[in-house]
Amino acid sequence: MSTKAPCGPEIICPAFATFTDAYLAILRRVTGSHQYEISTRGNTAREILNVSFTISNPVARSPYLAARKADIVFNHAEALWYLSGRDDLAMTSR
């Protein structure tokens, strides 16, 4: 990780080689030194505001972690659903 990305004074913005590296580092930061703890619908969440990061290899933008069973096809379909502006679930259902 390097911190060469241009940032404002209140923004955390390190640079990483891959999204997986960024995801793990930000996750460690949120669990270790979060700024806020909120509670909604009976669930608590930790937050850090104004976080930005740079990925030096933009092709490596999907997290590949065994513990996070990502469905890359669903992720892409969901992104297309958002970008198309649809409000139905037919496009994302299997």
| Domain range summary for the chain, segments of one domain joined by + | 15-84
Structure letter (DSSP) for residue 35: S
| Greatest CA separation for the chain | 45
Query: Cβ(1)–Cβ(14) under 8 Å?
Result: yes
pLDDT for 11 equals 58
The single residue listed with the structure tokens 């139905």 is 88
Per-residue pLDDT of the chain (94 residues; tens, 9 = 90+): 544 545 555 556 788 888 888 888 888 888 888 787 888 888 888 888 888 888 888 777 777 676 777 777 887 888 888 898 887 777 656 5
Query: Cβ(81)–Cβ(92) under 8 Å?
Result: yes
Query: Cβ(46)–Cβ(37) under 8 Å?
Result: yes
Dihedral of alpha carbons 29, 31, 37, 38, sign = positive
Q: Where are the alpha helices (DSSP H) in 8-84?
A: 19-33, 72-84
